Chain A
Amino acid sequence: MPRGIRGNERPAGWLFVAPALIILGLFMLLPILMALWVSLTRWNGQGSPFTGDVPFAGLQNYTRLFTDEGLARQDFMTSIRNNAYYVLLVVPIQTVLALALALVVNNRLLKGKGFFRTAFYFPSVTSSVAISVVFLFMFANGGAINAILSVFGINGPQWFSDPRGLIHLAFGDQAPALLADHSLLGLSWWDWLAGPSVAMCAIITLVIWTTSGTFMVMFLAALQNVPVQLEEAGLIDGASAWQRLRHIILPQLRPTTFLVVTLGLIGTWQVFDQIYVMSQGNPAKTTLTPAFLSYRTAFRDFDYGSGAAISFVLFLIIVVLTLVQRRLTRERD
């Protein structure tokens, strides 16, 4: 680059980045460091956490989550279990649904592509809080969902007050002795295997409904880059629609599929807004997630140290997933 005509750009460079740098530094970087300190203390919200008066806890806030028997570990493990079932259902379903919708919308024989793309995408731009209010109404006792179910002769559950896990429901209420007697990290095997509760299923439905559209648009963009000749070659060779999808289109979509799955994994471990509005972790803690538990521990129980520790464990889970995603994206490029 010809430095002569550009002159010295150093002052201008720093001046241009200064506002963003100050705000991001002050409200992202600094807070993370402060919280790291607080997670090592027993600060209760009174006064400043950065004085000598605040009791130092060392790593206790962290070890309590994993090794010490007690309510803290039980709640944390419950939240991990709930979130894991949530991830296990949301990620595959939204990925498959997004892909299927993209394939149908992309069909050259069909018109109105623009309209359907808009319709499927719209839910994802609306406010999570506003949409949670709508779903709260739809899943209410005697609400829209149960009205639809009753058409098919199904007696809908009381969604948000039903803590029963789906797997428990499928295999009966009685815990076999083997599962009830063994426990892992503060929860019995039987509890680990509960499955997502009925209440959690309502939240899972909402989230799949809001995010599928975004991922569909990603698949759609990728589909438009699949060379037409490839598909035509398959057609000439007499491949069936299913074979073309399986052996021609899906391999071409692999990078996008990886991306959608990892973005899904990263996003689903952060579920918070919907939980806050719809269930607050209830019923019987079956919709408690690490994000909501960390909030509740800090701002309701005034145990900021433990709350911050939960945040950092969650942070670690998500950072690992993000690194995996970035690696995969780089390999693609």
Chain B
Amino acid sequence: MIRTLTSRFLGYAILIFFALVFLYPFVIQIANAFKTEANAAANPLSPIPDPFTSASIERIFEGTGFPTWLGNSVLVTVVVTIGRVAFGSMAGYALSRLQFRGRRALFAGLLALMAVPPVVLLIPKFLVLNQLGMYNSYSGLIVPLLADATGVFVMKQFFDSVPVSVEEAARIDGAGVFRTFRSVVLPMAKPALITLTILSFTGSWNEFPHTLVSVQDPSLFTLPRGLADLVSGSLGAGTQYPLKLGAALLATIPVAIIFVIFQRYFVRDAAAGSDKG
């Protein structure tokens, strides 16, 4: 009895300690975004801004490129998410269900592409955008992200796990491939589509390296790019931490909201990550 009590107490102590370790940086971020610069420098640990000021948040909107970055981020995320969900589900369905020659080779190619580490694509992507005249444009920022190998793979795995009988019934009733896909397959694939939407949303909202090699003009920056520029560009000119933390905070909020709402999908993704490779 005593032993269970001690182990329970110890368990909670460990959990609460690590919950603090994992969450307190966000508390620090939020609190310091509303502090004055002097107060943030003097009391970086304090969770309470004293005095409270929203001056930095106002400056983010009036004195930096933040509104532009935000607009670009929203545009990129919306278009990329739609593209990835549409193209990913189509390709995943074809690779799982449709009988055509070359299917196996395509799937093998897909697995090979998934092994390509994104960071080694920095220079290659720049080369192709430069060659196609897409460097430093919205199309260069968006089009290369419209499909991702992992998304196609996730959808293929999902369709592999669903019995064919429902579709067969529709096909017997005389519906073509496209009708069956639109009115039978997609509604059935809702859980996988939600997962893919979330993956695509967070992936494109947080995307940084691609923006680094596809655009140069500040009017084309997305939030991560603008933020990185804000931090590394003005390092010499004062610290301005409340401003930077505030901008980082605003960039984090949309993903945080999605995370809270769709938590179980996130956790399942990570758990399923074991087969993704």
Contacts and interface: CB of A to CB of B under 8 A. Distances in A.
Interface string A252-284: 000010010001001001101100110010000
A266 B143 CA distance: 27
Contacts of A14: 94, 100, 102
Contacts of A105: 15
B121 A137 contact: no
Contacts of A125: 202, 255, 259, 266
B180 to A, nearest CB: 10
Contacts of A9: 98-100, 177
Query: What is the predominant secondary structure among interface residues of chain B facing chain A?
Result: helix
Interface in B41-96: 41, 44-45, 83, 86-88, 90-91, 93-95
**Which of B29, B119, B231 is the most central at the interface, judged by chain A CB atoms within 10 Å of its CB?**
B119
A115 to B, nearest CB: 8
Nearest to A280: B232
B11 A104 contact: yes
Nearest to A267: B117
A245 to B, nearest CB: 13
Nearest to B114: A322
Contacts of B263: 118
Nearest to B15: A116
A136 B178 CA distance: 51
Interface residues of B, number: 102
B41 A294 contact: no
Interface in A267-322: 269-270, 272-273, 276-277, 280, 291, 294-295, 298-299, 304, 307-308, 311-312, 314-315, 318-319, 322
Nearest to B110: A24
A154 interface: no
A209 B25 CA distance: 10
Categorize the interface residue count of chain A. Answer: 35 or more
B98 A120 contact: no
Contacts of B22: 119-120, 122-123, 209, 213
A170 interface: no
A288 B117 CA distance: 18
B241 A140 contact: yes
B171 A20 contact: no
Given A110-B15, A134-B28, A17 B94 contact: yes
B77 to A, nearest CB: 12
B244 A311 contact: no
Given A19-B90, A122-B259, A137-B44, A276 B228 contact: yes
B87 A217 contact: no
**Which of B21, B91, B124, B263 is the most central at the interface, judged by chain A CB atoms within 10 Å of its CB?**
B124
B189 to A, nearest CB: 14
B161 interface: no
29 contacts: A12-B177, A16-B98, A19-B83, A19-B87, A19-B147, A20-B90, A26-B128, A35-B127, A50-B131, A121-B270, A125-B255, A127-B223, A127-B224, A127-B255, A133-B231, A133-B244, A135-B25, A138-B25, A142-B44, A144-B45, A270-B119, A276-B208, A276-B232, A277-B227, A291-B119, A294-B122, A307-B123, A311-B119, A323-B115
Interface of B: 4, 7-8, 11-12, 14-15, 18-19, 21-23, 25-26, 28-29, 32, 40-41, 44-45, 83, 86-88, 90-91, 93-95, 98-103, 106, 110, 113, 115-128, 130-131, 143-144, 146-149, 152, 168, 171-172, 177-178, 181, 202, 205-206, 208-209, 212-213, 223-224, 227-228, 231-232, 239, 241, 244-245, 247-249, 251-252, 255-256, 259, 263, 266-267, 270-271, 273-275, 277
Interface of A: 1-3, 5-6, 9-10, 12-14, 16-17, 19-21, 23-24, 26-32, 34-35, 38, 48-50, 101, 104-105, 107, 109-110, 112, 115-138, 140, 142-144, 147-148, 209, 213-214, 217-218, 220-222, 241, 256, 259, 263, 266, 269-270, 272-273, 276-277, 280, 291, 294-295, 298-299, 304, 307-308, 311-312, 314-315, 318-319, 322-323, 325-326, 329
